[in-house]
Structure 1
Amino acid sequence: MSATHIRSNLPHRLFSAVCIVTLSVALAGCASKGRLTTGSIPSLNKPLETMNATELHSAAEGIGRTYDRNPKDAAVGMRYASVLTMGGRAEQALAVMQQVAIHNPTDRTVLAAYGKALAGAGHLDKALDAIQRAQTPDRPDWQLLSAEGAIHDQLGDPATARARYRKALDIKPNEPSVLSNLGMSYVLQGDLRTAETYLASAVRQPGADSRVRQNLALVVGLQGRFKEAEAIASSELSAEQASANVTYLRAMLSQQNAWNKLKDSDKNNTN
C-alpha cells in the first residue's frame, strides 16, 4: 500500500482509526485461547468494543488489581493489556505485555498478544517480529497469519498482507475476522466496493462479532450511505452511539472535500 494514497483520500484521524480497527480485529483472538483462561480473571459485563470511556476505566482498574497480585499470570496480563489498549493507553499496555512475555517467553499466544501491544504502540517492525516468532511453519496458526497480514497492511505491503489472509482462510475457511481483515485491507487502498464485498460476506458467517459489523458500517458510511451504516451499527451499539459514530463519520468526510476524493478514487479503481 502507498500510505500517501490513502491519506490523500481520508482525513488523517480516520486513516488512523481504520488502521486501529484492522489490527484490533486481526489480533483480538490471539489473547483469548482457552488453554490460558483461568477463573481468576474478573468478568466483564459487555464486550470491550462497546464500552464507553468510563466503563473501560472501571474495567482497567478491576483487572489491574488482579494483575498486580500476580503479574506472571498470562491470561490476566493479556486481558489487562486489551482493556488498556481499548482505553487508549497503548504504552501502558505494551509495558504490561513486556512483563508477561518475560515470564512466558515461549508461549505462542503470549508472543502474539505482545505483537498486538507493540503494534498498538506503533512499533510495527517489532510487532511483526514477535508475530513471526510465535508462528510455527509445520503447524501454522490462522490467527497469527491474519495478525501478520494486518501488520503488513500498515507497513505498506498489501500484497503480502492479502497473501497472509488467504493462507489463513485456507486453514480456517470463511472465518469472519479474516474476511473482515481482508476487506479492511481494501479500505486502506481506497477500494471501497471490494472492501464491502468481503465485509458483507464476513457479517453473514456464524460467529461474526461486533467488530466485524462495525467495520461493515464504516465502509458503508464511507460510501455515503449513512442511514444504512447507522442501521448496521445500531444492531450492536445503542442508537445514541450509532448516531454519534455516523455523525463523526460525516464530519470527517466533509473535511478537505474528502467524500468527493473517495468517490474519485473508487471510480478509478473500477476502470
Structure 2
Amino acid sequence: MTALQSTSAKRRQWQIAACIALACATLPSCATQKADRLTTGSIPSASLSKPVDLMTAVELAGAEKSMGLAYDRNPKDRTAGLNYANILRMNGKNTQALAVMQQVAIANPTDRDVLAAYGKAQAAAGQLEQALATIGRAQTPDRPDWRLYSAEGAVLDQLGRSDEARQKYRLALDTQPKEPSVMSNLGMSYVLSGDLKTAETYLRSASEQSTADSRVRQNLALVVGLQGRFAEAEQIARRELTESQSEANVTYLRSMLSQQNAWAKLSDKDRKPSQATN
C-alpha cells in the first residue's frame, strides 16, 4: 500500500467510527439501527412515553407505526411529517424519511424547521451537496440559527471539508456558547482528522455541561477508547443508563474498536498491569 493509500484508508476508518458515533442518540439503538448522521433535532411530540434515545427497538417500531398513521391522515401536516420523518431516520429508513420530508417541504416551502429537517433527511440519505443547499436556504443572516450552523458543519465534515465545518461549529458556539451538542460535533470533527487529544478536550468539556445528553457521553467514551483507555471508556459508556443499556453500549463500543483491529490491543493493555503484579 502506498503512503497516499494508507493515509486515505486511515481517514476512512476515522470517518466510519466518527460518523457512527456522531449520529447516534445512544449506542444501544445504534447496535440495531442505521445511524442518523446529524445530532441536531429531536422528535417534537408530547405523545411519546419516554425520550426517543431511551427507546428499545420494539418501542421505536411502535412509535413509527403510530406516527405513520398520523401522517397518513394528513400528509401535509407539518408536525406529523416532522415526527414521522424523524422516527423513520431513527429506525434507519433514510430513503423513506427523505420522501416524507420532500412532501412536507413542498407544503411548507419557507418554514425554517421544515427546511432544516429536509436537509438532515437529505444528508442521511447521502445527498450531501443537496443537504448543504437546503440548510443554507433555511439559514437567514439577520436571525442566524445555531442548530443550522451545527447541522451544516456535520455535513461539511462528511464531505471532508473539516476546516469549513469547524468554522460553522464556532459560529454556532458564538450564538449558543458552550452548547454541548455543538462542542460534541466539533470534537468529532477532530476525530475525523485523527487528532484524538483535541477531540477529547472538546468532548470532555461538552459532557460536563448540565444539558449534555447521552450521545455526548458516548462520543467521549469512543474517543477515550480509541486512545487505548478502554476501562475508562467503558465506565463512561455505563453512566446514567440501565444495566441492559450499559451492556449494549459496551458491546457496541467493543465492536467499533475491533473494526480497527484495536480491541485485542486494548484488551492486552488492560491485562498487562495485573499480569505484572503476579
TM normalised by structure 1 equals 0.83
> Partners of 1:9 and 1:73 in 2: how far apart?
39
Shift of 1:256: 5.3
Q: Which residue pairs with 2:11 in the alignment?
A: 6
RMSD of aligned residue pairs (Cα, Å)? 2.4
Shift of 1:155: 0.5
Partner of residue 171 from structure 1, selected from 171, 175, 182 = 175
Shift of 1:99: 0.8
Matched, 1:20 2:23: yes
Per-residue deviation, residues 158-185 of structure 1 (Å, max 9, x unmatched)? 0000000001111111111111110111
Q: Which residue pairs with 1:38 in the alignment?
A: none
Contact 1:183–1:197, Cα closer than 8 Å, also in 2: yes
Shift of 1:68: 1.1
Contact 2:18–2:188, Cα closer than 8 Å, also in 1: no
> Partners of 1:257 and 1:251 in 2: how far apart?
10
1:216 is matched by which residue type in structure 2?
Answer: L
Count of residues in Structure 1 that have an aligned counterpart in Structure 2:
249
Per-residue deviation, residues 40-76 of structure 1 (Å, max 9, x unmatched)? x561122222222211111100111111111112122
> Structure 1 vs Structure 2: percent identity of aligned residues?
61
Question: Gaps spanning 5+ residues in structure 2: where?
Answer: 1-6, 25-35, 267-278
Matched, 1:90 2:104: no
Q: How does 1:151-166 map to 2 (within 5 A)?
A: 151-166=155-170
TM normalised by structure 2 equals 0.81
- The higher-RCO structure (CA 8 Å, 6+ apart) is 1
Shift of 1:139: 1.7
> Partners of 2:140 and 2:229 in 1: how far apart?
43
> Partners of 1:19 and 1:209 in 2: how far apart?
13
Q: Which residue pairs with 2:29 in the alignment?
A: none
| Higher alpha-carbon deviation: 74-83 or 129-138 | 74-83
Q: Which residue pairs with 1:184 in the alignment?
A: 188
The structure with the larger Rg is 2
Partner of residue 147 from structure 1, selected from 151, 156, 170 = 151
Per-residue deviation, residues 7-35 of structure 1 (Å, max 9, x unmatched)? 2557x5x355135348331x226x75xxx
Matched, 1:193 2:203: no
> Partners of 1:256 and 1:172 in 2: how far apart?
35
